[in-house]
Structure 1
Amino acid sequence: MFVPKAQNPALAALLILLATAFIAATTLFAKALGTDALGPALPVLQISHGRFLFAFAALAGIAAVARPSLSRPNWRLHIGRTTFGWLGVTLMFASVAYIPLADATAISFLNPVFAMVLAIPLLGERVGPVRWSAAGIALVGAMILLRPTPDSFQPAAMLALAAAMVMGMELIFIKKLSGREPVFQILLVNNAIGLGIATVAVVPFWTPPTGPQWVALAGLGILMACAQTLFVNAMARADASFVAPFSYATLIAAAVYDFVGFGVVPDAISLIGATTIIAGALLLALREARVRPTATQDAL
């Protein structure tokens, strides 16, 4: 049975900021692997397989040493959560090979908006005018980033939008898992099931990676495991409404990594779209802070 940790907002903020740096770095590795930066571009299914392979290896190694206390998993919820999580990550990795990291990251911030909409039929939640307004503002930001004109439309941005929708469904399963099992167990089971799904999916497409690509795949998985661990521990130490705004630092880290690694400079449309999405997401977070003052244990 999960035992809540002592509340420590300052530590939670530090942990989430570190997590955002790691999460943004995973998209940088995914972009390098999905382009010719480290050798012939790898199939996106192989990139997501590497993410789960090395993340599970890192977590299994920790489990072998620390021997944490585990309980019986709720397999139905874990399988549902991981299936949507695997698909969302795969779509996200596919998008970053073609559009700026900052754009893909900003669009991914729509996942709580989609989760809010899905919670109406799936969890029986009621949505008031403030939450609908927040969702509308965020969706306007997404339309700006999609650049819906014949000359500037980015089809690959639809992959990031689809990823946000799928990860919104994942959040529904995460909410159902919250507090039912130890955090480490949720991460371990998630990555074990994800590895199984990713392995089956990658078989027809697997190609031998180059040496640098193996290193990037390992870095991708290990960084994701670190990010997940930091994120869930941050969520355990402060209200979700307090932690959520700090996660937007991912956008800054992604933009910096994209500039350093690929020389990509965000244009005015990217900045306006990202700002609009964050404004909507912040409005949603502030509304939740007033309505739900207690923390909800969460997991990536």
Structure 2
Amino acid sequence: MDGSIARPRPMLALFLRLATALSLATMSMLVKLAQQRGAHLAELIFWRQAITVALVGGGLLLAGRLATVRTKRFGAHARRALLGLIGMFFVYGAVILLPLAEATTISFTTPMFAVLLSLVLFRERIGLYRWAAVAIGFAGVLIVLQPGGSGAIDPFGAAIGLIAALFVALISLQIQDLNTTESPWSIIFWFTALTAPIAALALPFVATAHDPATWGIILAMALCGALAQVLLTSSLRFGSAATIIVMDYTSLIWATIYGFAIFGRVPPSTLWIGAPLIILAGLVIFYRERQIARRKPAEPVS
């Protein structure tokens, strides 16, 4: 991980993304639990970032590798930090407003937003397969949301979840770009170092006293977040987002288990109809992206 560019290792990337899904699902559960015990959203984000930068910075200092965070792309790190901080408010907000399984399912729309972003930002031509996948995916979202139905979930929370998925797609593109020149530790360090002071500005207005159990939950949440950040950044270093994003779907298993075991909620039947459609859409996009990536090296030769 010391070099700026890593050799593609698809199996390692898939394993790292699988571990990322578990870490993020655990962190989401702890965010929801901490909020129910009185912790404010902004407070959780501050501790998540502050503890991560302390662990990463301190670890690198002790290992004599602090120089690995040097960068000539401070502007790119600042843009990633800005989008990342805004995205965290939406991601955490969706987890707080929605049941875990539903919030996780809506987050699976990230590949659909990635397709739309490739059209808007890169003027990429989107073929029939990917357009069909986007349509199928959002049809699945409508089934999960049950608009007008008796079991309909909070529309505001659903909107927050969809915006969170859009930000995750944007941030994934930024991380992949930074990975071409920066080490994972540099990406994580600058993201947390730039955002923790900003998040701290909200503390005088939202911070409250907590019992030891709540502080333990907040600490565990921050540690899971730090671990997930390392795993996520490393997975994008060893494999493309289009290839490894399929592993993200395993987080629904953990979210469902946590939702039942911790919060006593069984997902409605519509979730098990809509979620496969959203996952199918992501898999179709994954398949088409892989086909396109395989064809690209041959184009200059011809």
Shift of 1:73: 4.4
Structural mapping, 1:54-69, within 5 Å? 54-68=51-65, 69=68
Bigger shift: residues 54-63 or 124-133: 124-133
SS at match of 2:69: coil
2:119 is aligned to 120
Q: Cα 1:196–1:129, aligned 2, differ >3 Å: closer, same or farther?
A: farther
Q: Cα 1:6–1:157, aligned 2, differ >3 Å: closer, same or farther?
A: same
Aligned match for 2:42, one of 37, 41, 45 = 45
Q: Cα 1:153–1:181, aligned 2, differ >3 Å: closer, same or farther?
A: same
CA distance in 2, matches of 1:76, 1:5: 22
Indicate conservation of the 8 Å contact 1:83/1:197, yes or no. no
Is 1:79 aligned to residue 78 of structure 2? yes
**Structure 1: gaps (5+ residues):** 295-300
1:260 is aligned to 261
Is 1:229 aligned to residue 225 of structure 2? no
One-letter code aligned to 1:53: A
SS at match of 2:265: coil
Q: Cα 1:19–1:250, aligned 2, differ >3 Å: closer, same or farther?
A: same
CA distance in 2, matches of 1:277, 1:287: 16
Structural mapping, 1:8-19, within 5 Å? 8-19=9-20
1:94 is aligned to 93
Structural mapping, 1:68-217, within 5 Å? 68=65, 69-149=68-148, 151-155=150-154, 156-217=157-218
One-letter code aligned to 2:47: G
Bigger shift: residues 198-207 or 1-10: 1-10
Indicate conservation of the 8 Å contact 2:5/2:179, yes or no. no
Shift of 1:229: 1.5
**Structure 2: gaps (5+ residues):** 296-302
> Larger C-alpha radius of gyration, 1 or 2?
2
One-letter code aligned to 2:54: A
Shift of 1:48: 1.6
- Write out the 4+ residue segments of structure 1 that deviate beyond 6 Å after TM superposition: none
CA distance in 2, matches of 1:46, 1:195: 10
Indicate conservation of the 8 Å contact 1:141/1:274, yes or no. yes
CA RMSD of superposed structures (Å):
2.2
Is 1:20 aligned to residue 21 of structure 2? yes
Shift of 1:91: 1.9
CA distance in 2, matches of 1:24, 1:216: 14
Aligned residue pairs, count: 290
CA distance in 1, matches of 2:151, 2:159: 13
CA distance in 2, matches of 1:202, 1:280: 40
Indicate conservation of the 8 Å contact 2:4/2:179, yes or no. no
Q: Cα 1:146–1:233, aligned 2, differ >3 Å: closer, same or farther?
A: same
Indicate conservation of the 8 Å contact 1:239/1:293, yes or no. no
Bigger shift: residues 281-290 or 106-115: 106-115
1:298 is aligned to none
